[in-house]
Structure 1
Amino acid sequence: MRLQLLLVLSAVICAAGKPLSKATARKTKLLLVSFDGFRWDYDQDVDTPHLDRLAVDGVKAKYITPPMLTMTSPSHFTTITGRWVEDHEVVHNMMFNPKTNLKLNHKETLKRSEWWDNGVLPLWITAQNQGLKTASFHFPGGGANYSGQAIHRALVEEVGQPDDNETEWRQNIDTVLSWFSEEDFDLVTLYYGEPDNVGHAKGPDHPRRKEIIRQIDRTVGYLREAIHRRGLNDILNVILTSDHGMTTVKKRPLVDEIVLNKYLNLIKLASFEILDYGGFGILTPRPGKQQEVFDALSKAPNLTVYKKHEMPASFHLANSERLPPIVIVADLGFNLNSRFIVYVNKGDHGFHNGEMDMKTIFRAFGPSFKSNFLSEPFDSVHIYPLMCQLLQIQPAPHNGSLAVTEKMLLGGSRRVQRSVALLLSMLSVFTML
């Protein structure tokens, strides 16, 4: 009898150290939600009971660092591909072509596959190629085709569509949750355009921004209630994140504003430019004029100018083929003006991703996540391998690492704890025999 019991105990110990196979592991689904422009500390000056509850019931990161560039399209595409901007080549919110002078705004690019499809596969397509069913609701990049493949279902945000309608926000949640519960989707990405819009229009310190954060908090509460109502608690993991932060535009006296034409003749020296777009600017010098342009811009205040191939390695931009030869990054809070001061935003982003005002949020909850777990800060590029792990799929080539986020997950350690408890119980029986 004792020998048989010892053999059972040995089997228990061995089983405790082995991961569950795909055949025996419970299949979970994933909802990725992005609130555009949600700075890492926006919930610290507002009462947010539902977000606070998530910190107890799930995982919270102190903050996450978006890629350079701290813009909506580049950052979202880094999240959904796990690649740096120089690899996926979505290098701006605007679709542009320096040879034809084409410039399209962010929402006009959302269905333009030639802007998004540069050889890097986003998670939707990688998951579909492994038998999963995926959808995108307004998420940047979701409306494009990749190597001829479309996402199973994609709703694209239309030009002029309002971003702050709370009733519509709840309807969107009901829609995507029905895709999980009624149509068996495995991965859905959901995008909201706030608090980015209010941050631009009013500034990050304005009371209206705080109202939107309260609205987001209520929406998070509605999301959790709706998950429970549809019986998805045990199978649906949820990640809440964002693309960049927001900072106050300093609005100093006009003499301190950056007007680049004061330092070089743009018509004479540049053949292409996007400069009146927050804190990040790009410029193509005319043939033979690159050094002259660089030297002139180096004398301008409140900015740093780079030759593309000489940018710091930490930017992960130098190897981009799509970026023009000259890149300009303004100091925090200063906007780049080309010829005239036309900028009206009271808040903006696009600045160096090392600035705390550019950091953003990360929350996660569901059956695969630990409770009451506070994560150290990490780069948003690491979200991708985490999502692949949650979906139990092989990731495409990426720049992230699961080692950065795997401590958030319930896994072998929890099984070991349960097995050890069983072992101790059986040992107590063994000693009484």
Structure 2
Amino acid sequence: MKKIILSILSVVALSTSVTTNAQETEKQIVVENRTNDIKQQDKPYVILISADGFRNDYAKKYDAKNLLALSTSGITSEAMNPSFPSITFPNHYTLVTGLTPPHHGLVGNSMYNRETGERYSLGNKKAVSNPSWYGGVPIWNLAEENKMLSACYYWPGSEAPINNIYPTYSYAYSEKSPIDYRIQQVVDWLELPAEKRPHIITFYFPEVDHAGHSFGPDSKETEEAVHFVDESVKKLNDAVAKTGLNVNFVFVSDHGMTRIDDKNPLKLPIKIDDNKVKVVSNGNYVSLFVENEKDINAIYKQIKAVKTDKYDVYKATDVPAKYKFSKKEDYHNRIGDIILIAHAPNYFSNNTPPKGSHGFFVEETPEMKATFYAWGPSFKSGKEIKTFSNTEVYPMLAKLLGLQIQGKIDGTDQLANEILK
């Protein structure tokens, strides 16, 4: 706990500016007294856009004509494979660190720290802004460390002072701002003087994921959400073009979506003593943190004795290598001792499950495949590429921005070499 307190106290003071837009209730967070180093001012600009839950086939399935046209002018991929588990926070953070979830520490939207007894969840603002949960060097940190300014209009991890660094410009997550205001904010950033202008901007859409969860991937609501994103990306692209800057766009999603058996939710097959075992569920998988190591085998055998083909049960030391999710991979000790991994369309829930969800292993459930498109002056034109891992996005962004990655990551330069000019 002492280390966390020190890191928060050492962060540079923040100032906030309130928008004049009457509909807008958020405050922009600005770290003052930062400027781009003179050698960074001629570097490229890139806007990293995520449409949460935008499955790899959605653009064609729902005729997202603007995205299809924009990507055809640059890079189109057949798909991008999410890391396991194919969940929102883990994969968004993989995209900006080049590390798999067990390596960067976000192994779920819900997590447990057995050393401190603390829990992490999306609605827990204190946890979300606590830097101790986040490993690696996100792309905005890499930029800021090299005196290149960054801006995050939402992205998992951007609300925490990771390695004592915030983006220069950011917003705490909210769904209150109208899209036109958010687009104008990006334009405003790009119209700042060169020494104050961010070179890497993140931008996030939640609508497709919300619709997929509530109504399923084949619903008219999901189609409408895809069209909203498609039209909004065109608005953003056109508005940015008017700045006269040569800006690159990278459009990604964190995962896909599949229909869930919402009538028959999975339950833990044995009764758990809360004093002996802490349970963390992410829907597609459940982790058990056993207080006494001597109890692990007995609990594992009890669960294993319940025969089912709806999920698999593993001790953390024995999770198959294909998942990259075993004790050996667990750099931050957050996976647990026993893991139950569901097979789609089955889903662990104590309540009624959503109609659609994700998290499943992409090689077993292809509906988990994510989207990747890119266009702009730094990208080759009219190039189609095969499916690749989402750990490749971070080193590509770093190379585009002319930033040197320090430390070991799981991504390579393969994507960068294939798509950058």
Q: TM-score, normalised by structure 1?
A: 0.80
Give how far 1:295 is off. Answer: 2.2
* Match in the other structure for 1:220: 233
Give how far 1:106 is off. Answer: 0.7
- The code of the aligned residue for 1:305 comes to V
CA deviation string 1:311-357 (max 9, x = no partner): 223322222122211122100111114xxx41231111111132211
* Match in the other structure for 2:271: 265
CA deviation string 1:388-422 (max 9, x = no partner): 11101101331111123422122xxxxxxxxxxxx
**Aligned-partner Cα distance in 2 for 1:227–1:53:** 17
Give how far 1:113 is off. Answer: 1.7
Give how far 1:290 is off. Answer: 1.3
**Aligned-partner Cα distance in 1 for 2:122–2:367:** 22
* Match in the other structure for 1:309: 317
Equivalent in 339, 343, 348 of residue 336 of structure 1: 348
* Match in the other structure for 1:400: 411
What pairs with 1:83-232 in structure 2 (closer than 5 Å)? 83-98=99-114, 102-108=118-124, 109-116=127-134, 118=135, 120-158=136-174, 161=175, 168-182=178-192, 183-232=196-245
1:149 counterpart SS class: coil
* Match in the other structure for 2:75: 59
* Match in the other structure for 1:422: none
* Match in the other structure for 2:393: 383
Q: Is the 8 A contact 1:35 1:193 kept in 2?
A: yes
1:157 counterpart SS class: coil
Give how far 1:286 is off. Answer: 4.4
* Match in the other structure for 2:261: 250
**Aligned-partner Cα distance in 2 for 1:97–1:91:** 11
Q: Judging changes above 3 Å, is the alpha-carbon distance between structure 1 residues 88 and 100 closer, same or farther for their aligned structure 2 residues? A: closer
365-374 vs 171-180, greater mean Cα deviation: 171-180
Give how far 1:293 is off. Answer: 2.2
* Match in the other structure for 2:249: 238
* RMSD, matched Cα: 2.3
2:60 counterpart SS class: coil
Q: Is the 8 A contact 1:269 1:293 kept in 2?
A: no
Give how far 1:110 is off. Answer: 2.8
Q: Is the 8 A contact 2:74 2:376 kept in 1?
A: yes
* Match in the other structure for 2:285: 280
1:178 counterpart SS class: helix
**Aligned-partner Cα distance in 2 for 1:227–1:389:** 22
Give how far 1:76 is off. Answer: 0.9
Q: Judging changes above 3 Å, is the alpha-carbon distance between structure 1 residues 24 and 360 closer, same or farther for their aligned structure 2 residues? A: closer
* Match in the other structure for 1:82: 98
Q: Is the 8 A contact 1:30 1:188 kept in 2?
A: yes
- The code of the aligned residue for 2:160 comes to A
**Aligned-partner Cα distance in 1 for 2:303–2:384:** 43
**Aligned-partner Cα distance in 2 for 1:350–1:220:** 26
Q: Is the 8 A contact 1:332 1:352 kept in 2?
A: no
**Aligned-partner Cα distance in 1 for 2:276–2:380:** 53
Give structure 1 stretches of 5+ with no counterpart: 1-21, 411-433
Q: Is the 8 A contact 2:205 2:229 kept in 1?
A: no
Give how far 1:300 is off. Answer: 4.4
Equivalent in 348, 358, 368 of residue 358 of structure 1: 368
Give how far 1:241 is off. Answer: 0.2
Give how far 1:132 is off. Answer: 0.5
Give how far 1:148 is off. Answer: 1.9
CA deviation string 1:183-213 (max 9, x = no partner): 4111111122121111111111111000000
**Aligned-partner Cα distance in 1 for 2:82–2:303:** 26
**Aligned-partner Cα distance in 2 for 1:184–1:219:** 22
Higher helix proportion, which one?
A: 1
1:328 counterpart SS class: strand
1:292 to 2:292 alignment: no
- The code of the aligned residue for 2:361 comes to H
What pairs with 1:24-39 in structure 2 (closer than 5 Å)? 27-39=43-55
Give structure 2 stretches of 5+ with no counterpart: 1-37
Aligned-pair identity (%): 25
Q: TM-score, normalised by structure 2?
A: 0.82
Q: Is the 8 A contact 1:203 1:209 kept in 2?
A: yes
CA deviation string 1:286-315 (max 9, x = no partner): 422212222233334200112112222332
**Aligned-partner Cα distance in 2 for 1:105–1:141:** 12
**Aligned-partner Cα distance in 1 for 2:414–2:82:** 18
* Match in the other structure for 1:346: 355
CA deviation string 1:158-181 (max 9, x = no partner): 4xx35xx7xx12321221232122
**Aligned-partner Cα distance in 2 for 1:229–1:211:** 27
* Match in the other structure for 2:20: none
- The code of the aligned residue for 1:173 comes to I
Q: Judging changes above 3 Å, is the alpha-carbon distance between structure 1 residues 268 and 191 closer, same or farther for their aligned structure 2 residues? A: closer
1:73 to 2:83 alignment: no
